[in-house]
Amino acid sequence: MVKAVLQRSVSGFYTDLVTRPTGRAVRENIERDLAHGTIAVMDFTGVGCLDY
Amino acid sequence: MTRLIEVPTQFDDRSFDQFAASYAQAVDGERLLFDAHAAEWASPYGLVGLLAAGEAAARKGERPLLTAPANPDVVSYWARAGFFREAADLFEVHGKVPKVKVAVESEVLLPVTPVRAAEDVHAVVSTIQQRASAILSSELGLDPKATMGFAMALSESCQNIVEHAGTGGWVAVQAYNWRRKLARRVVVIAVADAGVGFRHSLEPTQAKRFGERWGDAAALEAALIQGVSRFRDPGRGQGLAGIRRYLARWEGKVAIRSGSARIAIVPRWDDDLPLRDGLPAFPGSQVLLIIPEQESEKSGGGSSKQ
């Protein structure tokens, strides 16, 4: 669940995946948790806005 | 010595050049007096632009002066739009400013809000998500799915301050009747800073490519049309491209002024020019996004602000 990763990646209660620092923090958390070669399903349920 | 800079009576993106011309005549060491006593109306663009002018003026010398609008309705509106809350840190304000609550009314979707860090962008997006969705779909006839794109456009335009301006800025979002040619309701996002501007930001990586053509206009063209970023890592330069795609889908308009140039993606309902150069120089960047009411069988009405 991306929302769960988002909320543990950054301080503050965020439901929007916006800004570069937040995106970087979420990506790094996901990469750290994924075993090499894993196929992951990204569940964006509960995530509000998604920017570029 | 004090130099008077008149704030136009109708202060928006069209009259901004007149304001910038007056500002550009100031010399270092002069104390600036921004005279808004005769102001009758200011768009979100005018309000955030005036704050950017105040910040730039304060950097150059003494804290600038501001004469508040004399009209009680006008000054009350500016107060409810959050202008004076921010102006107090930049200007020595003269005139009667009412103590009113910053608006939670439907037309002020986001009062004038400072943007200095990524956390501010999160707060802005969260506020808009809560307040704007119903208004965008019920008043503008936007597909509810489109409100997510609206928040994205807002987020990206604010982030450009954080990532590129080198200083803080402000954002404001408001709905009103756009009388000029369109005669429909619109939502306007205005973002302004008095930072380094597009030309300075892109110069190290882009100036050589443009050669003698390099300048404010070329920098805006590179950023908005070509999607160029000052960062070389892949995936950069998506923000303005994303904004363009969203606005194209909803027949919206984007205009960016920086330095002495202004670029715009002009929809069919507007008569602006796509590119203007040789304008009076103004520091930083000022961005205007307009999303119009979608055409339907709904009849028009309501008071106009323009």
pLDDT band for position B16 (cuts 50, 70, 90): very high
Residue of A nearest to B145 (CA): A49
Report CB contact under 8 Å: B118, A48.
no
**Does residue B112 have a pLDDT over 70?**
yes
**Inter-chain contact B125–A16, Cβ cutoff 8 Å?**
yes
Residue B217: closest CA among B284, B287, B165, B277? B277
Q: Are B272 and B226 in contact (CB under 8 A)?
A: no
- The continuous run of DSSP H or E covering B220 comes out as helix B216-220
Helix (H, G, I), strand (E, B) or coil at B241: helix
Burial B50-64 (b: 16+ CB within 10 A, else e): bbbbbbbbbeeeeeb
B121:A19 CB<8 A: yes
* A13 has a pLDDT exceeding 50: yes
Q: Which residue has the higher pLDDT, B259 or B297?
A: B259
Rounded to whole angstroms, the Cα distance separating B134 from B153 reads: 17
Return the H-helix or E-strand segment holding B289.
strand B282-292
Over residues B83-99, the pLDDT tens digits come to 999 999 999 999 999 98
Nearest to A49 among B119, B151, B163 (CB): B151
Per-residue pLDDT band for B267 (boundaries 50, 70, 90) equals very high
Residue B300 has pLDDT above 60, yes or no: no
Share of residues in chain B with pLDDT > 70 (%):
92
Q: Does B151 touch chain A (CB under 8 A)?
A: yes
Instruction: Please state, in angstroms and rounded to a whole number, the distance separating the CA atoms of residues B291 and A2.
Output: 30
H or E element, residue B190: strand B184-193
**Number of other CB atoms surrounding residue B248 within 10 Å:** 12
Among A3, A9, A13, A19, which would you mutate to test the B interface (most chain B Cβ atoms within 10 Å of its Cβ)?
A19
Smallest Cα–Cα separation from B243: which of B306, B151, B105, B129?
B151
B182-213: burial string, b at 16+ Cβ within 10 Å, e else:
bebbbbbbbbbbbbbbbbbbbbeebbeebeee
Contact between A49 and B155 using a beta-carbon 8 Å cutoff: yes
Do A51 and B119 count as a contact with CB atoms less than 8 A apart? no
CB of B120 within 8 Å of a chain A CB? The answer is: no
pTM above 0.80, yes or no: yes
ipTM of this predicted structure: 0.74
Q: How confident is the model at residue B106 (pLDDT cuts 50, 70, 90)?
A: low
> Does position B213 have pLDDT exceeding 70, yes or no?
yes
Distance from the Cα of A8 to chain B's closest Cα (Å) equals 15
Residue B182: the pLDDT is 66
Q: Over the stretch A29-45, which tens digit does the pLDDT of each residue have?
A: 888 888 888 888 888 88
Of A14, A21, A51, the CB nearest to B156: A51
B239–A48 C-beta distance less than 8 A: no
Decide if pLDDT at B67 tops 50: yes
Helix (H, G, I), strand (E, B) or coil at B69: coil
* B1 close to B22: Cβ distance less than 8 angstroms: no
Mean pLDDT across chain B = 89
Average pLDDT over residues B26-34: 91
Average pLDDT value for residue range B229-252: 83
Q: Which residue of B has its CA nearest to A47?
A: B148
* Helix residue ranges per DSSP H, chain A: 2-9, 20-33
Contacts of A12 in chain B (CB under 8 A): 119, 122
pLDDT, tens digit, for every residue of B119-163?
899 889 888 887 777 778 877 788 777 787 898 999 999 998 988
Q: B152 and A48: CB-CB below 8 Å? A: no
- Cα–Cα separations (whole angstroms), residue B261 to B50, B198, B222, B254: 18, 10, 13, 14
pLDDT for the residue B166? 86
**Residue B11 dihedral angles phi and psi, to the nearest 5°:** -105, 105
Residue B255 pLDDT grade (very low, low, confident, very high; cuts 50, 70, 90): very high
**What are the residues whose beta carbons fall under 8 Å from the beta carbon of A25, sequence distance 6 or more?**
A9, A10
Contact (CB<8Å) B152/A49: yes
Q: How many inter-chain contacts (A to B, CB under 8 Å) are there? A: 56
Task: Report how far residue B216's alpha carbon sits from residue B236's, in angstroms, rounded to the nearest whole number.
Answer: 20
* Residue B58 to chain A, least CA–CA distance (Å): 29
